[in-house]
């Protein structure tokens, strides 16, 4: 029998997961990754599945759609979630990781897999044969052009930003305090407390600070990753009810929550670096240094990595892809990851899992699997493939699921979505013999 080979373009969150799912089913994979020969504007290393901004994979609780998604992925033997569970750092109810160890785990797993051939080259043309394109929101220009010619010019983009990371040794620990909101979970965040006057000074600096992109630039920003200075322009309340929300974060020195807070989350297990939660920014580097002087506890903090802003590419997938992430007109090509219109690390990995698993089944002559809108994995796949009036990238959320069959009190709904999702996934696993061996 002819050997089955699949090209996977991009060893990011989606491509790494897709390659693993194919390889574990005995299919040979040519995994193309252009780094380090050619870097993107945001990646810093040559490691696979590099997390380019936050180190958090968000909630772990299945009563949250992204927590449910992770649990489904565990049930389907996801490499990305296994790596995250192995390299996690404290983060309250969230699953956050040491990004270096996380990437190392995945890189080694794939490099040591005899079914995976790693090719460190930029792909500029989609190869003939079976291919999964998972080149991400920062797809190189040459490949972007090739994709436009394949898909037509319904090829969209918006702008996205990352948050700065500071050196833990330069934080003033006399001013910041450790607390989790409403004392839930372990206290994993350092909180920089502001009084009203401090907040007003900070706010005034922020709305007047210089950005890398001119203010009149026609900026298309994604609500889920909005730069802090864009958010500030909507008014101080947007900050106080958004990333600087203080409620439930009582300062042990006063017994009360402060007027506003900036939260810091550990970047690695050693706790030598912290990122500013929700503070993605495109301020000029000098302005970022200045901004820290207005944050109690960070007046002397040293920035190890500045926040930056990047193009973020995604396709108009409805009508082009089906719920297996397969091209309707060219069934030998699948797409996966952020570029399909799922949003977030876990969502991207999930699409890689669904695409990889279904490509493998197609090649084995087996029926492909629709995970249905009762599971988080399937709801995302349907989100990108179903026609709708306005298509925008989407995080996992219960709004894209099938409604619950029975009337359920608001308080019990999340639990109902979670248990229906887990039961559906368990029965799909049984029906299609996907049990983890």
Ligand X SMILES: Cc1cc2nc3c(=O)[nH]c(=O)nc-3n(C[C@H](O)[C@H](O)[C@H](O)COP(=O)(O)OP(=O)(O)OC[C@H]3O[C@@H](n4cnc5c(N)ncnc54)[C@H](O)[C@@H]3O)c2cc1C
Residues of this chain that interact with ligand X (CB under 6 A) are 9-15, 32-35, 40, 42-43, 52-54, 122-123, 134-140, 143, 160, 162, 225, 310, 312, 337-339, 344-345, 348
Three-class SS string for the chain?
A: CCCCEEEEECCCHHHHHHHHHHHCCCCEEEEECCCCCCCCCCCCCCCCCCCCCCCEEEECCCCCHHHHHHHHHHHCCCHHHHHHHHCEECCCCEEEECHHHHHHHHHHHHHCCCCEEEECCCCCCCCCCEEEECCCCCCCHHHHHHHHHHHCCCEEEEEEECCCEEEHHHCCCCCCEECCHHHCCCCCEEEEEECHHHHHHHHHHHHHCCECCCCCCCCCECHHHCCHHHHHCCCHHHHHCCCCCCCCCCECCCCECCCEEEEEEECCCCCCEEEECCCCCCECHHHHHHHHCCCCCCCCCCEEECCCEEEEEEECCECCECCCCEECCCCCEEECCHHHCECCHHHHHHHHHHHHHHHHHHHCCCCCCCCCCCCHHHHHHHHHHCCCCCCCCECCCHHHCCCCCCCCCHHHHHHHHHHHHHHHHHHHHHHCCCCCC
CB of 200 to ligand X, least distance (A): 28
CB of 351 to ligand X, least distance (A): 8
Residue of minimal Cβ distance to ligand X: 12
Q: Which is nearer to ligand X, 12 or 356 (CB)?
A: 12
CB of 252 to ligand X, least distance (A): 29
d(C-alpha 129, C-alpha 290), whole Å: 53
Q: Which is nearer to ligand X, 29 or 53 (CB)?
A: 53
Q: Which is nearer to ligand X, 338 or 424 (CB)?
A: 338
Q: Which is nearer to ligand X, 13 or 298 (CB)?
A: 13
CB of 137 to ligand X, least distance (A): 4
CB of 134 to ligand X, least distance (A): 5
Q: Which is nearer to ligand X, 20 or 294 (CB)?
A: 20
Q: Which is nearer to ligand X, 136 or 246 (CB)?
A: 136
Q: Which is nearer to ligand X, 143 or 291 (CB)?
A: 143
CB of 8 to ligand X, least distance (A): 10
CB of 60 to ligand X, least distance (A): 14
Q: Which is nearer to ligand X, 58 or 382 (CB)?
A: 58
CB of 308 to ligand X, least distance (A): 7
């Amino acid at each position: 029998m002819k050997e089955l080979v699949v090209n996977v373009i991009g060893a990011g969150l989606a491509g790494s997961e897709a390659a693993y799912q194919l390889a574990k089913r005995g299919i040979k994979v040519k995994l193309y990754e252009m780094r380090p020969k050619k870097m993107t504007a945001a990646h810093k290393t040559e490691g696979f599945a590099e997390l380019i901004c936050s180190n958090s994979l968000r909630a772990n609780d299945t009563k949250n759609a992204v927590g449910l998604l992770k649990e489904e992925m565990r049930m389907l033997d996801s490499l990305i979630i296994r790596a995250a569970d192995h390299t996690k750092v404290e983060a309250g109810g969230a699953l956050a990781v040491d990004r270096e160890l996380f990437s190392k785990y995945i890189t080694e797993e794939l490099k040591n897999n005899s079914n995976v051939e790693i090719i460190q080259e930029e792909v500029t043309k989609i190869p003939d044969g079976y291919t999964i394109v998972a080149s991400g929101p920062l797809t190189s220009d040459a490949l972007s052009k090739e994709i436009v010619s394949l898909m037509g010019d319904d090829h969209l983009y918006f702008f996205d930003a990352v948050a700065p990371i500071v050196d833990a040794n330069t934080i003033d620990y006399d001013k910041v305090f450790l607390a989790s909101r409403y004392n839930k979970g372990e206290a994993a965040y350092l909180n920089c407390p502001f009084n009203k006057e401090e907040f007003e000074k900070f706010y005034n600096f922020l709305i007047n600070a210089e950005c890398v992109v001119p203010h009149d630039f026609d900026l298309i920003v994604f609500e889920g990753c909005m730069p802090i200075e864009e958010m500030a322009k909507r008014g101080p309340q947007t900050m106080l009810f958004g990333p600087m929300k203080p409620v439930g974060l009582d300062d042990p020195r006063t017994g009360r929550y402060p007027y506003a807070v900036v939260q810091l989350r550990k970047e690695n297990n050693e706790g030598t670096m912290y990122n500013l939660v929700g503070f993605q920014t495109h301020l000029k580097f000098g302005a970022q240094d200045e901004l820290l002087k207005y944050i109690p506890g960070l007046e002397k903090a040293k920035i190890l990595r500045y926040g930056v802003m990047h193009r973020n590419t995604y396709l108009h997938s409805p009508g082009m892809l089906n719920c297996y992430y397969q091209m309707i007109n060219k069934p030998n090509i699948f797409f996966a990851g952020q570029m399909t219109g799922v949003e977030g690390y876990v969502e991207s990995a999930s699409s890689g899992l669904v695409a990889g698993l279904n490509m493998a089944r197609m090649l084995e002559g087996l029926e492909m699997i629709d995970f249905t809108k009762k599971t988080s994995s399937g709801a995302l796949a349907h989100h990108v493939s179903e026609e709708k009036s306005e298509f925008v990238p989407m995080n996992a959320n219960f709004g894209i699921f099938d409604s619950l069959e029975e009337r359920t009190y608001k308080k019990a709904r999340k639990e109902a979505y979670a248990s229906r999702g887990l039961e559906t996934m368990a029965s799909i696993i049984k029906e299609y013999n996907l049990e983890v061996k």
